Structure 1
Amino acid sequence: MKLIICSIDVSSPYFFQYFATFAGAFSILTSGINLGWTSPFLPGLLSPNSSIPTTNDEGSWCAIAPLLGAPLGALIAALLVDRIGRKKTILLTAPWVSFCFIGIAFSQTIWQITGLRFIIGSVEGALYTALPMYVGEISDPKIREFLTSTIAIAAIAGTLFINIIGSFLNIFQSSLICSLVPLVHLVWFLLVPESPYYFIKKGDFEAAKKSLQMLRAKTDVDDEVDSIAKAVVRQERSRAAGLLDLFTVRSNRRACLIFVIVCLTNKFSGKNPCMFYTEMIFEEAGSGNLDPTLSVIIYCSVELLAVTITTLFVINRFGKRFLLITSSAGCSLSVLVLATFFFLKDFDFDTSYIFWLPITALVSYNVMFSIGLSFGMVTVLSELFPTNVKAKALCIADTFSVLMGAIVSKLFQISIDLAGSMAYPFLFFALCCCLGCFLIVRVMPETKGKTLEEIQQLLIGQDQYSSELRHRQVAFVNNNAILI
């Protein structure tokens, strides 16, 4: 199979799409850093000789602080993306993250760190609202799945990065290094064009044409601009859509259902607890002579490798639906094995001869999660919703996602404290993955190779879609798209 990345060169028609996506995805590195921050540093904060005394309860609030902050950022981004544009909204996030990491470097209490992680979490909420929208709108259908999945790669790379530098640097040193990441993103992202969908939504046909000319690396883009304009005008329905349109319009309702199923399967597979408490899980498992920190780095490295290989070689061949089904089924089996290990350990069976099982199960879980569930939510959000409700949908979706992640992570800590075992939450995660797999089989359509408008046609249904087209046509007057 020809490697898609090989087509990235300056003369390629996809070059600026790759560049814009990679520049945007670089901002998600800070999301991975922030979410994975507790893995290398929380065990030290919880230790008796910690320079910043922290209780288990305080540590759990610190772990989920980014998730609690995300809804605020998602709401702000939803208000901004259709007013100032996707690009400017994304650019505004960089200074906040840089200042917060500098603040963490000089923090003296766990609550200061928690508050700053909350703010970074708000920025993450804004990014996960604006960036999937931007990437989905600038992408050619042939490479859209690859481009949207790079967001997941960046998040995993950030988690691996903080675990590596956190293993030999302290909070002060690592935080100052991390404060430079959003500044790099800021410089790169200044060079990319705004989404043509945003310009057409604002009625600026000429700006949309220039944006597409840069993104497609050609001058003849009139047909695509016309196609996008028709799609935007049809989706806008000549009026501002209300929040209730997400639930009263059949196609939007179906898109919401698909997202909820993929999101709940993602969150209740146990990903966030595994990310926040990876080192603690390995310590609890007592995995022989394997150093917990080294185990975490192996765990994250395998995930990054698996997502990268899937993105480059697999996703364009098999499509998201098949990968989501395979991923959820594999995750269910992997965490079931992990739960079984902890049950054996709880009942005093000799687990010394299977000391390798926890890291094997977690690495297997990581691989299976990486081939589908890791990027499933982002790609679904970038594709399924029409422009008239997209900002609202992504805001609500990100809020729902992080709240579910926070609930799962907090329940994980509470269940361990009450039951004194990791076996029960992992058994619960296995059952949730199994149920999620069944529901994805029932409701998830395949969108591989389809344009955003073709996906809407799939959700709406052929008869209703044809009826809408018969009653709506588009014309351009003074370079503005209007409904006639």
Structure 2
Amino acid sequence: MPPSRLFQYLATFSGAFSVITSGINLGWTSPYLPQLLDPASPIPTTNDQGSWCAVMPLVGAPIGALIAAILTDLVGRKTTTLLIAPVILSSFVSIAFARTITVISIVRFVIGATEGALYTVLPIYIAEISDPQIRGFLTSTVAIAGIIGTLFINVIGQKYSIFASSLICASVPIIHFVTFLWMPESPYYYIKKRRYEDGERSLKILRGRDDVTEEMDELREVVERQEKSKARVMDLFSVPSNRRACFIFVIVCATNKFSGKNPCLFYTTMIFDEAGSTISSDMSVIIYCSVELLATFVATAVVDRCGKRPLFIISTLGCAISLLVLGTYFYLKDSQIDNFVETFDWIPITFLVAYNVLFSMGLAFSTVTVVSELFPTNVKAVALGVADTFSVSMGTIASKFFQIANDQYGMYVPFWAFGVCCAVGLVLIVKFVPETKGKTLEEIQYCLMGRDGQKPHRKRNVV
């Protein structure tokens, strides 16, 4: 880690620490939903109530995303991120003392709103403070933090009650707040507010040197040019470059969500129980999440060398194959072929882990990294809010589809459907998604405008 980039790493890691709570919330139903659905549960829960409890974070996220889209430009990227911590802290404490599934669902809705806010403001912050050479790595740490949270809740969920685990998880927002409090604000925000001295001071901290006059002048020119027009939601569709950015985002987001990742997070234990493997569902879940974390670390380490586009393609192709194989396994299992489960009980854990590895290689961070790079400063906050709303809407539809299709027909139907969606997404990614490796945010805008041969002059790499 070069000393000149120390605060870029520190700011990213302390900010991404807040996303651990998102992973905790999304993975919470894996260990605890089976307990709630148990007839002996002290909190009576039906299948329908359980499914709504599972998707409540996705339902709440659009509200948080839209609020954050306003606050991000009003009070700043850093302040908006910090405001989220006390809300998450109080939410975890509320879950600890909840006595009905309705209360738990409402609190998960609130935490979901904070997730929507986080996935709106944090990608903006990280993209704006990062050097182009390490931006891919830093933005992908958001995905790593989410996986750490999912693994964490699945591990402690095997041992601790809802009460105990909720109080343990309440420490995460406290750590995030205390560490992120000392990080600098994005220089882009200060320039937007014409607080140039504060912007220069922030840039000096982030770059680890005093001579930032040249970069500061270039940033001022970029931001002021992009800020000439007031941001409106319709600008996302009326401006050709923004419209192309929206189209690219829809491709990667829909492929991400309809790969079935959210249902796999919500119902991991139930899927392994249904698979009938000889490996216990609890151990399978831990293996599943651990391998995902390792794979994401590897992908994060190579993303700035290989580029995002090749990783997206490999990831989507692998997910399509894995999901289709899993769907075929569940179909043959439901057909009650003699000795089928005993002979092929290795397939569920093998291909679910393979799916997780391949998803983590590209699709895991596709929406975060792509959307943080595609939009100009004047519409970025609005774009991130709309993007997160679209993202969680797709996640909610995918999760409810999984539950309904599984209840009505069997688990093979949603897995086959998700596999086909990945195959369609693969074709669209190959055709329409560009590479952004090594490009500044300004150069990416020129690419979206179809003006690759007219890249802006720059004497050094600007964010």
Does TM-score exceed 0.5, indicating one fold?
yes
Q: How many residues align?
A: 455
Return the offset for 1:462: 2.0
Q: 1:149 is matched with which residue?
A: 140
CA contact (8 A) 2:292 2:356 kept: yes
Q: 2:81 is matched with which residue?
A: 90
**Separation of aligned partners in 2, 1:110 and 1:462:** 54
AA of the residue aligned to 1:66: P
Q: 1:366 is matched with which residue?
A: 356
Q: Residue 309 of structure 2: which of 321, 333, 347 is its match? A: 321
AA of the residue aligned to 2:397: I
**Separation of aligned partners in 1, 2:33 and 2:23:** 16
Pair 1:297-2:290 in alignment = no
AA of the residue aligned to 2:434: P
AA of the residue aligned to 1:259: F
Pair 1:252-2:242 in alignment = yes
Return the offset for 1:444: 0.7
Q: 1:379 is matched with which residue?
A: 369
Q: 2:45 is matched with which residue?
A: 54
Give runs of aligned pairs for residues 437-448 of structure 1, distance below 5 A: 437-448=426-437
Q: Residue 96 of structure 2: which of 102, 105, 119 is its match? A: 105
Q: What SS does structure 1 have at the residue aligned with 2:74?
A: coil
Q: What SS does structure 2 have at the residue aligned with 1:348?
A: coil
Return the offset for 1:409: 0.2
Return the offset for 1:155: 0.1
Q: What SS does structure 1 have at the residue aligned with 2:4?
A: coil
**Separation of aligned partners in 1, 2:42 and 2:284:** 25
Return the offset for 1:19: 0.1
Q: What SS does structure 2 have at the residue aligned with 1:125?
A: helix
**Separation of aligned partners in 1, 2:160 and 2:454:** 57
**Separation of aligned partners in 2, 1:402 and 1:348:** 36
Give runs of aligned pairs for residues 282-293 of structure 1, distance below 5 A: 282-288=272-278, 290-293=279-282
Gaps of 5+ in 1: 1-6, 471-484
Q: What SS does structure 2 have at the residue aligned with 1:82?
A: helix
Q: 1:481 is matched with which residue?
A: none
Q: 1:163 is matched with which residue?
A: 154
Whose helix proportion is higher, 1 or 2?
2
Give runs of aligned pairs for residues 18-37 of structure 1, distance below 5 A: 18-37=9-28
Give runs of aligned pairs for residues 237-248 of structure 1, distance below 5 A: 238-248=228-238
Alignment RMSD (CA, Å):
1.2
AA of the residue aligned to 1:321: R
Return the offset for 1:239: 2.9
Report the identity percentage. 61
CA contact (8 A) 2:231 2:382 kept: no
Give runs of aligned pairs for residues 224-235 of structure 1, distance below 5 A: 224-235=215-226
TM-score of the pair, normalised by structure 2: 0.97
AA of the residue aligned to 2:448: L
Q: Could you report, residue by residue, the CA deviation over 1:184-215 in whole angstroms, capped at 9, with x for unpaired residues?
A: 00000001000000011111111111000000
Return the offset for 1:317: 1.8
CA contact (8 A) 2:276 2:341 kept: no
Pair 1:347-2:338 in alignment = no
Return the offset for 1:464: 10
Q: Residue 118 of structure 1: which of 95, 109, 112 is its match? A: 109
Q: 2:54 is matched with which residue?
A: 63
Q: 2:379 is matched with which residue?
A: 389
Q: 1:476 is matched with which residue?
A: none
Q: 1:131 is matched with which residue?
A: 122
AA of the residue aligned to 2:136: E
Return the offset for 1:76: 0.6
Pair 1:336-2:324 in alignment = yes
**Separation of aligned partners in 1, 2:170 and 2:342:** 42
**Separation of aligned partners in 2, 1:433 and 1:461:** 28
Measured at CA, do residues 464 and 230 of structure 1 come closer, stay the same or move farther in structure 2, by a change above 3 Å? farther
Q: 1:479 is matched with which residue?
A: none
Q: Could you report, residue by residue, the CA deviation over 1:15-72 in whole angstroms, capped at 9, with x for unpaired residues?
A: 0000000000000000000000000000010011111110000000000000000001
**Separation of aligned partners in 1, 2:218 and 2:352:** 46
Return the offset for 1:463: 8.1
Gaps of 5+ in 2: 458-463
AA of the residue aligned to 2:304: N
Pair 1:406-2:383 in alignment = no
CA contact (8 A) 2:277 2:341 kept: no
Q: Residue 432 of structure 1: which of 403, 410, 421 is its match? A: 421
Q: 2:446 is matched with which residue?
A: 457
**Separation of aligned partners in 2, 1:463 and 1:216:** 28
Q: What SS does structure 2 have at the residue aligned with 1:92?
A: helix
**Separation of aligned partners in 1, 2:304 and 2:220:** 27
CA contact (8 A) 2:45 2:101 kept: yes
**Separation of aligned partners in 1, 2:133 and 2:249:** 22
**Separation of aligned partners in 1, 2:85 and 2:163:** 20
Q: What SS does structure 1 have at the residue aligned with 2:73?
A: coil
Q: 1:306 is matched with which residue?
A: 295
AA of the residue aligned to 1:443: F
CA contact (8 A) 2:446 2:452 kept: no
Measured at CA, do residues 246 and 291 of structure 1 come closer, stay the same or move farther in structure 2, by a change above 3 Å? same
Q: What SS does structure 1 have at the residue aligned with 2:66?
A: helix
**Separation of aligned partners in 2, 1:200 and 1:446:** 28
Return the offset for 1:465: 6.4
AA of the residue aligned to 1:345: K
Q: 1:279 is matched with which residue?
A: 269
